[in-house]
């Protein structure tokens, strides 16, 4: 139970910290943190919780990561569903609280026709810079695959695992720096589901990509590390 709670709180903090920074701090005209600030916020969110609860649950905070680690031989199949349920639940609760806060001023109204509304992920007309479905899929697939390679490499025997959280947090920061303009960055189905539900419009109908691309990318990355890079 402790591991499930750790995943719940870790995913909650990831969504609350990352998406919260995008909602409240990125758009301020004078002092806004912009894309770079949001990327750092996501990286800091996963880095801090990796050290806070990673020793309890492994610090996945992402259904794609759990699935990729399972395919890479680092995680038990029987734990997959409870982990994913905890992650999605934590993400949705964080999004709901963000919605309450975001709605606390008259100027903040979610327009589901606007790209990046409520920090949701999208492609085509819902991409921050108009990138199409193929570009979005390839981006999410490649970045999640490398995220798994980094996670598995940083936590393997023989690596300096004391700094694994730093490597993983910086990797997520880099991932966001690359892909915020393309998809608003997912690489995490729980994060995408939580925001799309509250953003509404066509965002829920685009969730297939932000579930399929990260999961298949994570599976690919996990298998590459296991079969090609793992020491025998």
CATH of the domain at 99: 1.20.1080.10
pLDDT value of residue 231: 74
Whether 216 has a pLDDT exceeding 80, the answer reads yes
pLDDT at residue 109 is higher than 90:
no
Q: What is the DSSP string of 18-74?
A: HHHHHHHTSS-TTT--HHHHHHHHHHHHHHHHHHHHHHHH-S--SHHHHHHHHHTTS
Task: Give the number of C-alpha atoms closer than 13 A to the C-alpha of residue 174, restricted to the C-beta side.
Answer: 12
CA distance 187 to 88: 14
Closest Cα partner for 187 from 221, 147, 223, 220? 147
| Structural domain that includes position 83 | 2-106+114-229
What are the pLDDT digits (tens) for 112-127? 999 999 999 999 999 9
* Tens-digit pLDDT profile for residues 166-212: 999 999 999 999 999 999 999 999 999 999 999 999 999 999 999 99
Average pLDDT value over all residues in the chain: 94
Give the count of domains, the chain.
1
Question: What does the alpha-carbon distance between residue 199 and residue 201 come to, in Å, rounded to a whole number?
Answer: 7
* pLDDT interval class at 157 (50, 70, 90): confident
pLDDT of residue 209: 98
Structure tokens at 24: 């409240």
**Is the per-residue pLDDT at 29 higher than 60?**
no
Neighbours of 28 (CB within 10 A): 10
Q: Give this prediction's pTM.
A: 0.94
Number of Cβ atoms within 10 Å of the Cβ of 113: 10
Please report the pLDDT score of residue 163 as a whole number: 92
């Amino acid at each position: 139970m402790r591991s499930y709670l750790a995943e719940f709180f870790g995913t909650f903090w990831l969504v609350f910290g990352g998406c919260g920074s995008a909602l409240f701090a990125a758009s301020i005209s004078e002092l806004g943190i912009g894309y770079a600030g949001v990327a750092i916020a996501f990286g800091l969110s996963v880095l801090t919780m990796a050290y806070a609860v990673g020793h309890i649950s492994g610090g996945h905070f992402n259904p794609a990561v759990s699935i990729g680690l399972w395919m890479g031989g680092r995680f038990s199949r029987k734990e997959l569903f409870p982990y994913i349920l905890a992650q999605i639940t934590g993400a949705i609760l964080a999004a709901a609280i963000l919605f309450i806060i975001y709605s606390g001023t008259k100027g903040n109204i979610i327009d589901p026709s606007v790209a990046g509304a409520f920090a949701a992920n999208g492609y085509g007309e819902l991409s921050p810079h108009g990138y199409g479905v193929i570009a979005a899929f390839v981006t999410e697939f490649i970045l999640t695959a490398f995220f798994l390679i980094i996670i598995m490499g940083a936590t393997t025997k023989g690596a300096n695992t004391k700094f694994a959280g730093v490597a993983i947090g910086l990797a997520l920061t880099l991932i966001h720096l690359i892909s915020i303009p393309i998809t608003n960055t997912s690489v995490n189905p729980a994060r995408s589901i939580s925001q799309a539900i509250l953003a509404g419009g066509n965002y829920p109908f685009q969730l297939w990509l932000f579930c399929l691309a990260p999961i298949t990318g994570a599976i690919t990355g996990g298998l590459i590390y296991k079969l090609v890079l793992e020491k025998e």
